[in-house]
Amino acid sequence: MTEKKFKGIFAAAVTPLKSDLTPDIDSFPEFLSFLAQRGCHGALILGTTGEGPSFSFEERKIIYQAANNVRQIHPSFQLLAGTGTPSLQDTINFTRLAFDLGLDGVVVLPPYYYKNVTDEGLFSWFSNVIEKSVPQDGTLFGYHIPQISNIPLSIELLKRLKDNYPIQFGGIKNSSSDPTHVLKLGDSFGDELSIFTGNDRLFSKSLDVGASGCITSLANLISPDLRVVWDAHQCGESKPAVQKRIDLTRIIFDRYPPAAPVLKSILSRCYGFPKWAVRQPLLPISKDIEEQVITDLRLEC
C-alpha cells in the first residue's frame, strides 16, 4: 500500500466576504495561514461551510487563486476544492478549474436535485466527472452528507468507483452522524480509500478504524484540539479528555445552525478577523446569539 496522498486535519474553511458580498481575497491567504499555524494540514475551499454553491465560475477562480497564495508561507499546506453541483457540466468545469489552478484535489457532492437516484446513475455521473476533468494523477473525493444532499454514497458505489478509478478516486468525506456507518467504511475499505470524517464527535472512532483524518467546520476554531487527537493517534495513543472537549463544542455549535455565520462572528470577535458577511439565503447572527455562543463555549474574547 502506497503512502496516502492526503491525511490529517483539514478545515472546511469559511469564505471571507466583504460587506458588498464580494470575495475578500486579501484576507483569505492570511486566514488560511492562521489555520496552518493552528495545526491544520490543509483546507477545503468552497465546501458547505464555505458557502460553495453560492459562487460563480469567475468568483471561484479568484478565490482559488487567492487561496494558493498561502503556500508562499506554508508550501506543504494542501488545498481541496468543493466542486459538486446538480449540473454535470458545471461540476466538470469547476473541477477542471481547480486542477488547472494548482489545487491538490476536489471534494464532490452528488447531484442533489433529484432524489432516489440509483447507484448506476451516480456511477455514470461520477465517471463523467472523473474522466472529463480529473488529471491522471489528480484526486477526487466523494462527499457523503445525506442529511443535506439526500443522496447517500453507498458502500457498493464507493467500491465500484475505487475499482474503476484506483488512482483518481481517493475516497470520501463522510459527514454522516451515524457511528455504524463509520464502522462499515472501516470494515469495507481499511487503507484502500482515504476516509475523512466530517463529524468532530466521530473523529477518534473514525481514526480507530483507519480514517485518514477529518474535514470539519469546527477546525476553523478548534484545530489545536483536533491536532492533539490526530498526533496522539499517530503514536498509537488516545486522548479521550480532548475528544470529550471536542464533543461538547460540537454539541454547542449544533444548536446554532448553519455554521458559517456563527463561525465568522466568532473568528471576528475572538481572533480579530474582519466581520465577514455571508451570502443570502444565509444571514448574519444577532449580537444576542453571538453573546450566547461565546457564553456557552466559555470563550474569553
Which amino acids are annotated catalytic? 48, 113, 143, 173
- Residue 112 CA to residue 245 CA, distance in Å, equals 33
CA-based end-to-end distance of the chain: 46
Which of 43, 138, 52, 54 is CA-nearest to residue 100?
138
Which of 158, 167, 170 is CA-nearest to residue 194?
170
- Residue 268 CA to residue 19 CA, distance in Å, equals 14
Cβ pair 83, 91 in contact under 8 A: yes
Per DSSP (E only), the strands in 5-53 are 8-12, 42-45
Which of 289, 208, 205, 202 is CA-nearest to residue 250?
202
Q: Give the C-alpha distances (Å, rounded to integers) separating 199 from 128, 195, 215, 250, 286.
A: 29, 12, 8, 8, 26
Which of 280, 273, 144 is CA-nearest to residue 220?
273
Strand partners, 82: 107
